[in-house]
Every structure is written in C-alpha cells, then in structure tokens.
Amino acid sequence: MAVIIEKMRFLPLGLVFAAGLTGQTFEQSVQPVLAKNCAACHHDRMASGGFNATPYTKAASLSQRDDWERIVQRIRTGEMPPKGVPQPTQAEVNGFIKFVEGEFAKADKLVKPDPGRVTARRLNRAEYSNTIRDLLGVDFRADKDFPSDDSGHGFDNIGDVLTISPILMEKYLTAGERIAARAIGADPLPKKPLEFEYHAKDKTIRRPTRSAIEATHRVDWEAEYVIRIGLPGERPKGSAPVKMGFWMDGKLLTTKMVETQPSGLVYFNPYSNEELRLALPEGDHTFRVGFIDDEFVKPLSDKDAYSDKKNKYLNSMTFVGPFAAKGERPSRKRLLICDPKLPGCSAKILSTLARRAYRRPVTRAEVAALDRFVTLAKADGQTAEQGIQLAVQAMLVSPHFLFRIERDPAPGVVRPISDLDLASRLSYFLWSSMPDEELLKLAEAKQLRPQMDAQIRRMLKDDKAGALADNFAGQWLETRNLDQVKPDPKKFPEWSPDLRDAMKMETRMFFQTLLKENRPLTEFLDANYTFLNDRLAAHYGVPGVDGPEFRRVALSTPERGGILSHASVLTVSSYPTRTSPVIRGKYVLQNILGTPPPPPPPDVPTLDEEAVGNAGSLRQQLEKHRSSPVCASCHSRMDVLGFGLENYDATGKWRTRDGKFDIDVSGVMPSGKSFKTPAEMRTILKDNAPEFSRCLTEKMLTYALGRGLERYDRKAIDEINRKVIDSGYLFETLVLEITRSLPFLERRGELPKPTNPKTESARR
C-alpha cells in the first residue's frame, strides 16, 4: 500500500478523482449546481467575466485546484451566482462545497509532506538595527543609512529578494566602522568642543507647530553634549511656567520647566537660553524641542505667536560638544568582560561576542582570525581596545552575521532544522532580532523543541515583541506607508506629523494588545475599544481624552470599531485629495478576506475629479465610471466594501456629506446580506471570520517563513486555520500553530534543476 501511495503522489489530481478513489458523487453534488446556476452565463459562446464553466463539469477538472478554490470561494460568499439568475438552495451550496473540499482533503493525504525551503537570507534593515541593538547596545538607524529593502509577497523579509548591491556593501563597511566605534569607544574625542547652531533667521529649523522647532543634526561622536535652546520674548505677568520637552527621532529624552513671565529687570531682555546636557548617540538624528500642553499659544494669531512682547517661543537650537560622558558607557560594560590588556582576554571577549553575532558556537579558527586584529593593532602602536574595535568591525561585515544561513539536507530530502536554526527562526519571527541568551543556550543543549511553547509565550511578553506590530502588522495593514502619505493641505489642513504619528501609534498599540492579551482575532474587525491621545481623539470627535499620552478608550458610539475605522488604515487606502472606494474595497478583499481582485483591464478611463462633490457624489460618479460590464464584474465586489467606508474622509475623519451631497454607504454583499452603516458592514465581515482567519494565517506564515507560500503549503495552512477557529480565534493559537507547523520546523534540500537535453548536447 505504501508503494501505491508513493506512486500516487506523482499522478495528476484529476486522474486520482477519475479513478474513483474519492467516491462517485461529483455528478450528484457538483454537476447540478454548475448546470442550473452557472452554465447559462459561463459557456463556450459567452464566458462572462472571462470564465467558461464547461471544462469544469467533469471530475477530472478538480486537478485545476487553483481554479476550483476560486469557484468555491465565490459560491461560499454568495458572489456567484449573481442576482437575477437562478440561485441554488443552501443545501445545494453546502453539498457542493463539502464535496469539493472533501476531495481536496483526501488528495492531500496522498501527497508526501513538503516543508519547502528558504534561501539564505540577509538581515533586512529592521532586523539589522534590532540585532545591533541587542548585540552591542548601540541604537543604529539602518532605515536612515541603508537603501530600502525590496519586498516580495507583501513583506521585506523574503529571502529571494534580499540581495546585496555594491552600494549596500559599501554601507555595511561604513556602518561597521561607526557602530564598532560607538560600542567600544576606543578612539579619543576632539580636544576642543565644536558648536553647531540652527536658527530661525537662517531658516535652518522647522516649525511643525507654534510651540515646537525641529532640526536635523549629525552627531559625529557618541558622547555628552550641551544643547542650548534660544527662547525669545515673554508672556504677560502672572503667566504660568511651561514644560519644555526635548525629543530625538520622535523619542522624548528629557523635560524641563521654563519660566515665561517677565523677569522683573528694569531693562527689557527679550531673549533667554535654557541648557540641557545629554548623552547623544552618533549618527544623523532629528531633534525637536517643544512646549508640552501649551494652552497659552492656542488663541494667538501667527503674528502674535512670534511677537517678543506677547509670547515666549522657541527660536534656535545649538549643539556644543562632544564632552566625555561621566561613567562608562553601557555597551563597554556589556562587551569588555575582562581587561583587554591581560593575556587571553581579547580572545575571550571576541569568542563571547562572535557566538552571539553568528548565532551559533564559533570555532577556534574563527576566534583566532578575529583576535589577529588585536595583534595587528598593537603592532601598529594602537591599544588592545582599538584592536577589539577593529575585530568587531570585521565581525559586522561577515556573512555569518549579515546572513541567516540554514544548512541544507541532501537534494529532495526532508528533515527537521537544527535547534540553532530554529532559535533564529523564532527570534526573527517574533522579535525581528537575534536569539537572546536563554534561547541560544537551549538551542546549544538541543533542548529548545521540548520547551518551545513556553519560550514563545515568554518572548511574546517581552517588549521586543513590539517588532511584530512594527514589521508584520505595519506591512500587512500597510500602515508603514503613512510616512509617504501627504494629504492635500488645502483640503485637510488638520494633517500634521503629530496626527500621523498618533495614527500609527493607535494601530500599533491595538495590535500589541490583541497579541499580549491573547484576544480573539475577530476583534480586528469589530472591537469596541481603541487607543487614543488628545490629538487623535479630537480628530475622531471622541470627548474626554486629555493629554498626549495614549490610553485605552472604550468606544460608546458605532462610528468606530476595529481596524477598518482606524485613521491609519483609512488614510493609506485613500488618495491625497479624496477617498477611494475602489482602493478601500481592494484593501478589504486583499488584507482582510484574502481574495484580491485581478488587475484592472487596460485603457480604463480616468475619473473626472472636478465633478466629485460638485456634479454628484463620489458614489454617483463611480457608478457612471464603472458602467462597463467588464469593469462591473470586479467592482461589484470591491465597491460595496469601499462605499461602506465612505463616512470616513481621506484622513479617517467622520463625515456625513461628500461636498454638497449626502453620503450613502448602504450596500448589499454578494451573499445577499445588506447594511446601511459602517457598523453593520463590520458585523457582516465578522460573520466571515473563517475567511479572515485564513487570510491572516497566510500573511503571518509568509512573514514567519520569509518566503512565498506554495501549493504544498495548503495543508499546513488548513491545519493552522482549523485549530485557530477551534480555539475561538485566539491570537496566541495562531502564533503557536505557525511555529508548530511543518514548514516552520522542517526543511527540504534543494532539488536538482531539470536539465535541457538540447543544451546538454550542445555543451558536449
């Protein structure tokens, strides 16, 4: 029997079905539905929507699995048959779907499991930055220094597209030198401090708000600096002090109370300075100084806001330094585990560091090669610390650091990956970073597999799991694109960097909460809470939220609920000047339901932008625009979803009118279910929880594996999704089942490439 099954896996699925191994009910369960409800529109002479059902009236056609899965999907959702044609009964639909899926399940059992394989992967920018942070304690922004990573299958951690260009290799060499210098700090600082001023008069500062200024400044040495803030003017007598904050790359570093009322001196002095002394990391950074919760400036005009006699405001930023930091920097304490001057210490330091950098035990030869840099440095009159710094620089450009390389089995052979490779798969999946010491020790002792579930739960509780929100959710939900979105300032004057950052934070915290609290995945679709600060709450019209801190807020009205009402999602699925029901509808199909529409046909006429909101609502304009039957077949799926979100403008703000016209969001889904509000549409989408769960499973498995999914992965996807549904859609179950799946735990050796007889003959 085993021999028969082994042979069967090479047979086309159609022959398996035709041979009768799956029963003889195709004619009873499938053919009647196709004949009565599909054949009238989809036949040889009239293949509506480009689909001819005739070839699918025989059991052998089930070998065309991709086509049949689309057929089942459209019948399950009620998209087909369309209105106006005979409809199958629910019993007929259930029998149709049960038979086809049952045949696929039987066929899958005859196919030899295949975990696939992942090519050697270099670290992408996020993984590089996080790994440097965890390895050396250095905050390095690869997104500012390295070119953008290519994406594949919706993510930028796909091995097949993560190539290394000559320019990236140059960046690695430069970055390695800078990072090693920051980590070890063996090079002396300049004897004389330098001074760099950014001033409003020179137009070298930006004013994101009346109460803040920004400047981009390059810090050449990791050290302490004095930051001098210029504050012209004064406020009326009796004005309260104001809290001044200092940010670097969006992170608040410190605050200080600043006096704003007159000094009481006889002579008016319209200018004062405040000084801060801070340790700053090397690199290009965006610095911001601003007054926090500054109510005084809100009623002022622009002219009065910058009047020395009516307001105290921010006008300049000066950096003075570098100065030696007090005490030893944390990275040195972490790395210099003994005195480098002592015999054998440098080898001990480098062995310990290389083990973590290469994410595996290192050989004596590898350590000796690194230690040779220390010997060369000493021979050149440098210190042992400078030699270690050179060795660290070499380590950071090694393929063992830059790439995740898994050992391949023999061609076509399937076997479990090593514990060390598994530790890296887990850490780069959940943390976008290297394994920590606990993971690494378990992997070295080959004890990781028995403790994997406990380790995953530990890792999900760690703050580093925020990388899953940044790098997985940010790409799945496309909220990373907010940095490139620029809504029209005339139509959306409230748009600002603060609002954009608040949008990103809402979605990030929402995702993290569902993950850390092990909430049901269905809350992505219709949660009755979100995370707001005062800026985003004002944008949403939610009262009672004061201050810049984000907090969990219960939603008391049906206007908001789930990610489809997040301003981040609504903004990235709009044009800069208006909403787009087509883009939003496609977004829902692709990222929520997992059924992306095909590309649009060529020569589609553009929409008359001037008429939108004037000659008719956007809905009315689009209904004229998509009058072509070719367009209507896809737009009937997309537009009903996109119009259901029309109450939100292009920045996610609630509205009831589109220009001069009332907004109509009502619609009828292909299943026949109708809605009149966005909340009712969300309820219908929640009824499609199995489809959403499967879509999220496919997205997260792609991200976890670092490769696109293939036909042989379907069985694993089905098993994961079934267990997620059985758990009540718990988020932790999704993560655990992905890490327990065959493609995550095992690997197939690369199959030999088929040879072309003509080519081989020519070579001979």
Give, in order, the Cα–Cα distances in Å from 426 to each of 346, 420, 436, 650: 31, 10, 11, 38
b/e burial code for range 582-599 (CB count within 10 A of at least 16 → b): bebbbbbbbbbbbbeeee
Residue 758: what pLDDT? 53
Give the torsion sign (CA, 481, 486, 488, 491): positive
Local structure of residue 531 (DSSP, 8 states): E
Residue 413, SS3? coil
Residue 561: what pLDDT? 96
Give, in order, the Cα–Cα distances in Å from 98 to each of 80, 197, 373, 399, 721: 17, 72, 67, 50, 17
pLDDT digits (tens, 9 = 90+) for 182-198: 899 888 888 899 999 99
Tokens of 534: 């005062």
Q: Which of 320, 319, 309, 318 is nearest to 232 (CA)?
A: 309
Residue 97: what pLDDT? 81
Give dist(CA 498, CA 501) in Å, integer: 5
Residue 607: what pLDDT? 54
Residue 2: what pLDDT? 37
DSSP string, 556-587: -STT--SGGG-HHHHHHTS-SSS--HHHHHHH
Local structure of residue 743 (DSSP, 8 states): H
Residue 669: what pLDDT? 85
Q: Identify whether the C-beta of residue 507 lies closer than 8 Å to the C-beta of residue 477.
A: yes
Regions of the chain short of the pLDDT cut 50: 1-22, 265-268, 759-764
Local structure of residue 469 (DSSP, 8 states): I
Q: At what angle do helices 714-726 and 90-110 cross, to 10 degrees?
A: 130
Distance of CA 176 to the CA centre of its chain: 26
CB burial class (10 A; 0-12, 13-18, 19+) of residue 256?
middle
All structural domains of the chain, each given as residue ranges with its CATH number in brackets, are: 2-110 (no CATH), 122-189+335-405 (no CATH), 194-323 (2.60.120.260)
pLDDT digits (tens, 9 = 90+) for 205-240: 999 888 999 999 999 888 899 999 999 998 888 888
pTM value is 0.83
- The type of residue at 267 is Y
pLDDT digits (tens, 9 = 90+) for 701-731: 999 999 999 989 999 999 999 999 999 999 9
Residue 19: what pLDDT? 39
Q: Identify whether the C-beta of residue 730 lies closer than 8 Å to the C-beta of residue 721.
A: no
Q: What are phi and psi of 319, to 5 degrees?
A: -105, 125
